[in-house]
Structures are given as C-alpha cells and as structure tokens.
Amino acid sequence: MEEYRSTFNQNQLISTATVACTAGIFTQLGEYRVLAGEQVAVGYGDGEFLTNAQGRIYALMNTSAPAEIPGVLRVVVMSATDRPYQIMWETRTEIIDANPTDRTKQTEFPLLNLFVTQDKRIALFFNPDTTATVALANTVIRLDITRVAL
C-alpha cells in the first residue's frame, strides 16, 4: 500500500456550475466517490507539528458577482446507499480563507484518521449566513487529502 499527499479542489467537490444555498440549511455542493483500488482520508501529515509539510485547507466561497459568501463548510462521509455516515470536519469559511497562495499562512489541516473506502463518498456541504448561490467559476477550494493506493 502506497500512501501519498493529494489535493481536492472546487472542481472535484462542487458538482454543478451554480448551487443555490439557503441560509440556515446545509446544502450539498458535490461529492467525490472513492474508486476501487484506493482509500482517501481528509487532511495530511502529523497534527503535532505546524510546518509547511503538513496538510492545509483554503476555501473562498463566492457568488457569480463575485461576492464572498460567509458561512459554515462541512465535510461528510456518505455511504454507498446515500446516507450520512460521519461528519469528518466543519468550520466557518472566514477561518480558512486567509491566503490563496501562501501555504504557510493557510489553516493547518492534519490527517483525520478516517479512511474512506470504495463506493463511499466524501461530500461537501455549505450553510451560508445569508441565502446565496455558490458559483463554481468564482469559488476556490484546496483541501489536502491522503490517498492510499491499494
């Protein structure tokens, strides 16, 4: 088994060009289905050392204007039968939108030791502070992950 670092971006986690999101409700933006021959965990590296080698997360949710949409992002493991299995992580967007290019200023994101297996999905949900439409073209997401090739 080979373990290596990879990154999800907005194109892998948002399924359509726009997603209407209602304030106060978590709306699924999209998902990644884990393929045969791999396992995927959110985050990367040791949680004890805050170095550039550790995983990072950055997200800037935008409308088509573009205008930033503050709210709460949530990463959920979904079963093969479309049921929520486990919430892996959630946070406010203003905590993770610090710097789009300098990884040393982005929020540390160590490995969350839950490896998602074949046919399960890693889904991204968003609960905006005000009702808004997320535009894939103007939204930026970088979520470090750990992949295992089986």
109 vs 42: CA distance, rounded Å: 8
CATH 3.40.50.2000 fits 2-149, yes or no: no
Q: What pTM does this model have?
A: 0.93
Q: pLDDT class for 50, splitting at 50, 70, 90?
A: low
Share of the chain above pLDDT 70, in %: 95
What is the structure's pLDDT at 51? 53
Asked if residue 25 has pLDDT above 80, the reply is yes
Sequence-distant (6+) residues with CB within 8 A of 46 are: 54, 110, 111
In DSSP notation, 10-63 reads HHHH--SSEEEE-TTS-EEEEEEEPPTTEEEEES-S-TT--STTS-EEEEE-B-
Comparison of pLDDT for 14 and 48, the residue scoring more: 14
Q: Which is higher by pLDDT, 15 or 99? A: 15
